[in-house]
């Protein structure tokens, strides 16, 4: 699987639902460093963005625990969603 395919799979996981980074790492069989590189690439190119815990998080399954643990939260951007749609349509 190419690096581009892995990044696209990461994006798809972000778009599917509220998902924690450990789950992404496990689903894609990545180590921590590979996950961090992927996140950096996706964020740098504007496909995902870091977010603060806020009102939008109230529907998240881990919302009540967010204050108790240190989390880096990300969400897919409109640009990321467009890329997924484009790649899905071209198959």
User: What's the confidence (pLDDT) of residue 71?
Assistant: 66
CA 72 – CA 53 distance, rounded (Å) = 9
User: What's the confidence (pLDDT) of residue 84?
Assistant: 93
User: What's the confidence (pLDDT) of residue 72?
Assistant: 72
Q: Split the chain (91 residues) into runs of 10 and give each run's mean pLDDT.
A: 87 81 90 94 94 68 63 85 89 64
User: What's the confidence (pLDDT) of residue 14?
Assistant: 86
CA 63 – CA 45 distance, rounded (Å) = 27
What phi and psi values does residue 76 have, to the nearest 5 degrees? -75, 145
Are the C-beta atoms of residues 74 and 14 closer than 8 Å to each other?
yes
User: What's the confidence (pLDDT) of residue 74?
Assistant: 84
Count of beta carbons in the 10 Å neighbourhood of residue 27: 12
Beta bridge partners of 90: none
Query: Can you list the domains of the chain with their CATH numbers?
Result: 3-83 (1.10.10.10)
């Amino acid at each position: 699987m190419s690096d581009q395919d892995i990044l696209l799979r990461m994006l798809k996981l972000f778009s599917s639902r509220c998902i924690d980074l450990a789950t992404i790492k496990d689903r894609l069989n990545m180590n921590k460093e590979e996950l961090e590189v992927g996140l950096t690439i996706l964020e740098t190119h504007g496909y995902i963005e870091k977010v603060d815990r806020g009102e939008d998080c109230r529907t998240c399954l881990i919302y009540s625990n967010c204050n108790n643990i240190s989390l880096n939260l990300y969400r897919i951007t409109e640009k990321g969603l467009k890329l997924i749609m484009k790649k899905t349509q071209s198959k």
